[in-house]
């Protein structure tokens, strides 16, 4: 299956007293007319499960490939074996079909007209059960029939296990997101055709952040073994930050990021900027912090934040060009985080 299979898989609502994300149908369910563009990245280690984690993906590498995904309504579409659907997700010629409800939703199959391929689940896959928050888990069995060219049949059955296994802070090259929930989806299946059988295992991790309707990051490892042959392992990952966000430290333009050896991460955005530049930094411990703005001529030197003890976690601030009388040019923000010094080059246009 392609990555779009569960791009709309979960929705989010920041609803409990501890500030953790709870996936909920009502607020951020996939909506007909929505569209999104994911960007492929080099594979990154998803890390271990747990509480109050920090995923530092500030050094992730984009591969250059993007994919456009669209959501549309079609409550009349039928695929052999799966009955009616009320939602279609389209990507790269595939139409993935779903049945959505207040308490979750199921994947019912897909079609690809150009390739003359169809898949109908006689027992659909439960992709999400609402509400869903850290520590919750469910499993579901599925089975179906796939057809190629209308004559070549493949029977498949398997099981999926979905777990909200971690939450914490997620660091990207251009933004820092807090109260992020990670969901692990483990899928195992057996596919049988006249040519033989294939065992397929897939593990996907999805990160959900407050203010984003869909996952902001996905990491996948799939393994398939045909007959007695050696397994084929494929790893992939993508980010989906091209969403309307609220309550997130969202960057614009070409971000600037520096991270020192002490492990504290600094993000500056947008860069270049016209009126105001915002900075965010994540402290792994309580340390004294100073922020200074200067240029290389030595004529411009302003202490943006005086030295003060700051707690562990995310901190943010901004520099307004009009307030500080900054003409167009190149400047530097110097962050002194205890004994770590991070310098970010910024451009005023």
Same domain, 172 and 221: yes
User: Residue 216: pLDDT band by 50, 70, 90 thresholds?
Assistant: very high
Per DSSP, the three-state class of 36 is: strand
* Pair (225, 305) in one structural domain: no
Judge whether 245 lies within some domain. Answer: no
126 in a structural domain: yes
Residue 60 has pLDDT above 60, yes or no: yes
* CATH number of the domain to which 312 belongs: 2.60.40.1930
SS3 298: coil
Strand order in the sheet with 340-348: 301-310, 287-294, 329-337, 340-348
- Assess if residue 109 is contained within a domain: yes
Same domain, 65 and 135: yes
Note the pLDDT tens digit of each residue in 246-288.
444 433 333 444 444 346 788 888 889 999 999 988 888 899 9
Span 222-226, average pLDDT: 95
- Write down the pTM of the prediction: 0.76
Judgement on whether residues 147 and 103 belong to the same structural domain of the protein: yes
Q: Do 202 and 336 lie in a common domain?
A: no
> Of 239, 266, 300, which closes a domain?
239
> What is residue 197's three-state secondary structure?
strand
The pLDDT of residue 21 is: 82
Q: What is the 3-state secondary structure (H, E, C) of 102-115?
A: CCEEEEEEEEECCC
87 part of a folded domain: yes
Instruction: Classify the C-alpha dihedral 161-167-172-178 as positive or negative.
Output: positive
246 lies in some domain: no
The token pair that represents 289 in the structure block: 């912090």
Nearest Cα to Cα of residue 154 among 143, 166, 168 = 143
197 and 51 in a common domain: yes
319 falls within a domain: yes
Using the structure block, give the residue that is written with the tokens 């898989």: 9
Which of the listed ranges 99-113, 169-183, 188-202 does the model predict with the highest average pLDDT? 188-202
pLDDT tens sequence across 184-210: 999 999 999 998 999 999 999 999 998
Residue 244 placed within a domain: no
Unique residue bearing structure tokens 């980010």 = 239
Q: What is the count of structural domains for the chain?
A: 2
Short-list 338, 334, 332, CA closest to 310:
338
Does the pLDDT of residue 105 top 50, yes or no?
A: yes
Higher pLDDT, 242 or 16: 242
Residue with structure tokens 């799966």?
Answer: 82
Q: Give the pLDDT score at 14.
A: 33
Task: Report if residue 285 sits inside a domain.
Answer: yes
Residue 131 CB coordination number (10 Å):
17
Residue 107 above 90 pLDDT? yes
pLDDT, one tens digit per residue, over 138-150 is: 999 999 999 999 8
pLDDT digit string, tens, across residues 69-90: 888 886 555 544 445 568 898 8
Note down the domain range covering 296.
256-348
Query: Are 159 and 285 within one domain?
Result: no
């Amino acid at each position: 299956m392609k990555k779009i299979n569960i791009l709309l898989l979960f929705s989010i609502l920041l609803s409990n007293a501890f500030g953790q994300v709870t996936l909920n149908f009502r607020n951020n369910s996939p909506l007909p007319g929505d569209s999104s563009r994911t960007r492929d990245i080099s594979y990154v280690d998803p890390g271990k499960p747990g509480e109050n984690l920090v995923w530092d993906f500030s050094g992730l590498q984009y591969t250059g490939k993007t994919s456009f995904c669209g959501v549309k309504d079609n409550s009349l579409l039928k695929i052999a074996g799966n009955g009616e659907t009320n939602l279609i997700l389209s990507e790269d010629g595939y139409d993935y079909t779903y049945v959505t409800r207040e308490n979750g939703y199921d994947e019912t199959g897909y079609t690809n007209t150009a390739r003359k391929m169809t898949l109908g689940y006689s027992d659909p896959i439960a992709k999400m059960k609402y509400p869903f928050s850290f520590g919750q888990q469910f499993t579901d069995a599925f089975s179906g029939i796939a057809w190629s060219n209308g004559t070549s049949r493949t029977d498949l059955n398997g099981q999926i296990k979905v777990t909200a296994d971690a939450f914490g802070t997620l660091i990207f090259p251009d933004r820092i997101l807090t109260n992020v929930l990670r969901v692990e989806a483990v899928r195992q299946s057996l596919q049988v055709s006249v040519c033989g059988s294939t065992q397929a295992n897939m593990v996907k991790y999805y990160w959900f952040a407050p203010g984003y309707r869909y996952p902001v990051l996905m990491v996948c490892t799939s393994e398939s073994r045909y007959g007695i042959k050696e397994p084929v392992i494929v790893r992939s990952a993508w980010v989906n930050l091209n969403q309307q966000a609220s309550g997130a430290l969202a960057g614009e333009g070409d971000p600037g990021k520096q991270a020192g050896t002490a492990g504290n991460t600094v993000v500056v955005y947008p860069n270049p900027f016209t009126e105001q530049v915002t900075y965010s930094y994540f402290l792994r411990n309580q340390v004294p912090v100073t922020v200074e703005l200067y240029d290389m001529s030595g004529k411009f030197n302003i202490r943006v934040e005086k030295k003060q003890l700051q707690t562990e976690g995310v901190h943010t601030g901004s520099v307004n060009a009009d307030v500080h009388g900054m003409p167009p040019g190149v400047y530097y923000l110097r962050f002194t985080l205890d004994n770590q010094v991070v310098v970010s080059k910024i451009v005023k246009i």
